[in-house]
Amino acid sequence: MGVNCHMLKIKRMGASIALGLVLVGSLFSSGATAATISTQLATFDGQVNFNEVVLPENTPLTNQFQAQGVTFNGPYYDPRNGNGQPASNLIDGFSGASAGNFQRFGFSFFNHVTPFTFLFENTVDEFSMAGFSNGVLTIVDAYNNGSLVESASVNFGEFLFSNRSVAFGFTGILFDEIRIAPPAFAASLRFDDIRFNEATSVVPLPAALPLYGAGLAVMGFVGWRRRRKAAGVA
């Protein structure tokens, strides 16, 4: 009788441990799946289309659009092309002024477009933009707190000869920075109409571990009370 009771206790303990492992496993498997998107966001709570602030041509972009929720490092403001016409009017998908990085002293194999970044004021969970390049593949990386969370290769020159921009973005992840590395020897990479949605809750998954631990503790306490009552009756 004593042996059977002991074995029953071991089985119950094993079941509790197994349940705990399932709960903890579900904790780490419940994260959102990252995805790339090839269309502009239809709904968004933040936007920069570079018409909010008027700047001189070729002004380096830093914090001029901070009020709209984004700061920059590397690109330049581009309201017009060499003919004095709005440069964005030549690219389908752009509207008014735009921004970008482009060769400033004529084409040269030693003078190519350098990388640049977008820094969001708050953590976002999705963004999109319109881009146009005369290169082939551009590397677009999403970072959160300085750590890479997603990367993609994008062909912003897909419609080069038709002057059509290419829409691209990320969704399903948390990030606060976009780093863009144009292709080697590209003469330009322009972008416009940055759209984004700020994350509604920025709580790391491991922060929920105490809740799971508390649940396991309650289960253990209930089991202990039952065993104590059973022993008292016996």
- 42 & 70 share domain: yes
In a domain, 94, yes or no: yes
- 64 & 159 share domain: yes
DSSP structure string for the chain: -HHHHHHHHHHHHHHHHHHHHHHHHHHHH-SPPPEEESS--SS-SEEE-S-SS---TTPBPSSTTGGGTEEEES-EEE---TTSS-GGGGSBTB-S-EEEEE-SSS-BTTB-PPPEEEEEEEEEEEEEEEEEESSS-EEEEEEETTEEEEEEEE-TTTTGGGTB-EEEEEEEEEEEEEEEEPPTT-SEEEEEEEEEEE-S----GGGGHHHHHHHHHHHHHHHHHHHHHHHHH-
- Identify the domain containing residue 101 by its residue range: 35-198
Q: Could you report the per-residue pLDDT of 110-138, keeping only the tens digit for each?
A: 445 788 999 999 999 999 999 988 777 89
pLDDT on residue 153: 93
In a domain, 2, yes or no: no
- 184 & 222 share domain: no
- 90 & 114 share domain: yes
Q: Could you report the per-residue pLDDT of 192-219, keeping only the tens digit for each?
A: 999 999 998 645 555 555 665 666 665 6
Q: How much is the mean pLDDT over the chain?
A: 77
Question: How many distinct structural domains can be found in the chain?
Answer: 2
- 81 & 53 share domain: yes
In a domain, 18, yes or no: no
- 142 & 75 share domain: yes
pLDDT on residue 158: 74
- pTM of model > 0.85: no
- 63 & 172 share domain: yes
- 83 & 138 share domain: yes
pLDDT on residue 108: 44
In a domain, 20, yes or no: no
